[in-house]
Structure 1
Amino acid sequence: MQKLKYLQGYSDQLISQVSQLVENGNLKRYLLRKYPEQHTIQSEKALYDYVIELKNQYLKKSSPISKVAYDGKIHMVNHALGMHSFVSRVHGNKLKAKNEIRVSTIFKQAPLPLLRMIVVHELAHIKEKEHNKAFYQLCCHMESDYHQLELDARLLLTQLEIDGPLYN
């Protein structure tokens, strides 16, 4: 059985099921059946618009987001899929906050629900900095299927590592 590093912490039963998909060469087929199309949000402007639309829907009163970008270095350097950075600066007698969201370029070629899950995760960090109960409740408020999508994102990462991109 191949070690499935992205599924650590999941039940032995689930890991066994995924291992069987991998061994039979069916993980890609499973993902394509569930997510037949990749999203069309390819430019950073389109990504910014998508993030702002979600933010305005769920976090209207939170501080503004100054930048949203795809970042090719995130996965390699930080072992993460997205990043939220918060910088505070003093300008005269005012304190200015700056929020940035970066999404791994892995998600340029992903299904829209998985991109949404990453964006929801990073938006939740605007209100909740830690991965605690309140954080995951906020994620589930913005995306009711959050936990399943997080698992599917891990399956996508496994697919990428084993057999390359999902979409050709």
Structure 2
Amino acid sequence: MTPLKYLNGYSPELQAQVHQLIEAGRLGEVLARRYPEAHAVRSDSALFDYVQSFKQRYLRNAEPLSKVCFDAKLKVVQHALGTHTRASRVQGSKLKSKREIRVATLFREAPAEFLKMIVVHELAHIKELDHNKAFYQLCHHMAPNYGQLEFDLRLYLTHLDLKPLDLQASEVAP
């Protein structure tokens, strides 16, 4: 059985179920049935508005965001699907702070729920820097099914990794 790099921390039983879906060629079908809805967030300005709506609803008192954008340089292999940055600088006698959220471009084409999950994750980092209990509580507050979305996103990434193999196999098969 090939190791599933995005599901390393999960139980062997759960990984075996995923392997069965892969071998049956049904992983993509299961994900498409579970997450059929695409989103309309295609531009950086639309993404900024989308993130701002979540921030306004759940994190009103948090520092403002100066930039939100899709970033083609973020790679799954670098274990970064989104980033949040904070830059502080002295301007006169005041300390100015700038916050940015960058989301990997793969989320332009991903199902709507996966974009929601990564946005919730990055917004939670505004309040909680570490992946601790308070961080995950905040994620679950903003998206009650956050745990399931995170797991399904890992399935989606596994499916995307398998796509080139599927194309190669279909080119070889008569």
Q: Distance in 2 between matches of 1:155 and 1:33?
A: 13
Q: Distance in 2 between matches of 1:61 and 1:76?
A: 31
Q: Distance in 2 between matches of 1:107 and 1:114?
A: 7
- Other-structure match for 2:111: 111
Residue 3 (structure 1) shift: 1.5
Moved over 3 A (4+): none
User: Which sections of structure 1, spanning at least 5 residues, go unmatched?
Assistant: none
Residue 76 (structure 1) shift: 5.1
CA deviations 1:99-149 (Å, max 9, x no partner) are 100000111111111100000000000000011111000000110000000
- Other-structure match for 2:3: 3
Q: Distance in 1 between matches of 2:91 and 2:23?
A: 58
Q: Match of 2:66, SS?
A: strand
- Other-structure match for 1:138: 138
Q: Distance in 1 between matches of 2:14 and 2:39?
A: 27
Residue 73 (structure 1) shift: 1.2
Q: Match of 1:95, SS?
A: strand
Q: Output the aligned Cα RMSD.
A: 1.1
Correspondence list, 1:140-159, <5 A: 140-159=140-159
- Other-structure match for 2:57: 57
**Percent identity at matched positions?**
57
- Give the greater-gyration-radius structure (CA): 2
Equivalenced residues, count: 164
- Other-structure match for 1:162: 162
- Other-structure match for 1:32: 32
Residue 37 (structure 1) shift: 2.9
Q: Distance in 2 between matches of 1:77 and 1:96?
A: 33
Q: Distance in 2 between matches of 1:100 and 1:38?
A: 25
Indicate how the Cα distance of structure 1 residues 142 and 66 shifts in structure 2: closer, same or farther if over 3 A, else same.
Answer: same
- Other-structure match for 1:86: 86
Residue 2 (structure 1) shift: 2.1
User: Which sections of structure 2, spanning at least 5 residues, go unmatched?
Assistant: 165-174
Q: Which amino acid aligns with 2:26?
A: N
Q: Distance in 2 between matches of 1:36 and 1:133?
A: 31
